[in-house]
């Protein structure tokens, strides 16, 4: 039986590590170090080769320690494949109302991607767990603050261009979590199998996030 998404685990460290294009053979080691560092939530994008097999194997191996989800879910076909693989949550770069509604009906957490206030509010009104603001790097923390002024009930997950250097500003602006790709999981360290260095890199994100949170 598939393990359900743990909101408690997510809230302890709401950084979603985005794994796109990594070899399946390295995923297990990466997930092991990710959990050991205190990170809790991993997204495997559906446009990664062998994504469904990777999701299935990671859920089986780490489903009680990590939230393992599917990203780049852009339509119902992607959604069905992701859920069949055992994905514990769903992330999208766009607003697809059918995907959101289906996830809500099944009780599967869904993080759809939105850009404008209208898109953000629409996602939330449809039942999104959080709204992924994408691409956040083009908008900046000021945009998050301005959107949340009238829409303060919405939980936002900025994604795209988030780093150790700017994460604190986004937290100050009101972000409740982040989707982070290459800044959190550098491909060079994985390619070199520099596992100790990768682990230290993960722990730095954990430490900095906690520090930023306490400051705000």
Q: What span, in angstroms and rounded, lies between the C-alpha atoms of 72 and 170? A: 23
Q: What span, in angstroms and rounded, lies between the C-alpha atoms of 159 and 137? A: 8
Pick the catalytic residue from 132, 165, 169, 191: 132
Residue (of 171, 209, 214) closest to 15 by Cα position: 209
* Alpha carbon 61 to chain centroid, angstroms: 19
Residue 132 annotated in active site: yes
Residue 43 annotated in active site: yes
Pick the catalytic residue from 43, 172, 176, 204: 43
| Residues 145 and 171: beta-carbon distance below 8 Å | no
- Tell me how far CA of residue 107 lies from CA of 21, 45, 71, 121, in angstroms: 28, 20, 17, 20
Q: In what order do the strands lie in the sheet with 113-114?
A: 113-114, 131-133, 156-158
- Tell me how far CA of residue 210 lies from CA of 44, 46, 184, 200, in angstroms: 24, 30, 15, 15
Catalytic center residues: 43, 132
């Amino acid at each position: 039986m598939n393990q359900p998404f743990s909101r408690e685990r997510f809230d302890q460290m709401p950084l979603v590590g985005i794994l796109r294009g990594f070899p399946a053979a390295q995923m297990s080691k990466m997930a092991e170090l990710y959990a050991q560092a205190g990170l809790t939530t991993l997204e495997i994008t559906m446009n990664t080769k062998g994504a469904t097999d990777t999701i299935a194997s990671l859920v089986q191996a780490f489903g009680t320690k990590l939230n393992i989800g599917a990203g780049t879910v852009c339509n119902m076909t992607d959604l069905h494949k992701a859920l069949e693989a055992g994905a514990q949550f769903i992330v999208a770069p766009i607003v697809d109302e059918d995907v959101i509604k289906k996830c809500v009906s099944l009780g599967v957490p869904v993080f759809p991607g939105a850009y404008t206030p209208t898109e953000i509010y629409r996602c939330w009104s449809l039942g999104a767990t959080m709204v992924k603001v994408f691409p956040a790097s083009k908008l900046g923390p000021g945009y998050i603050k301005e959107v949340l002024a009238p829409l303060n009930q919405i939980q936002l997950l900025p994604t795209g261009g988030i780093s150790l250097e700017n994460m604190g500003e986004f937290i100050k602006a009101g972000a409740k979590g982040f989707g982070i790709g290459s800044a959190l999981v550098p491909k060079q360290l994985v390619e070199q199998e520099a596992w100790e260095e990768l682990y230290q890199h993960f722990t730095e994100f954990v430490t900095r996030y906690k520090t930023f949170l306490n400051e705000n």
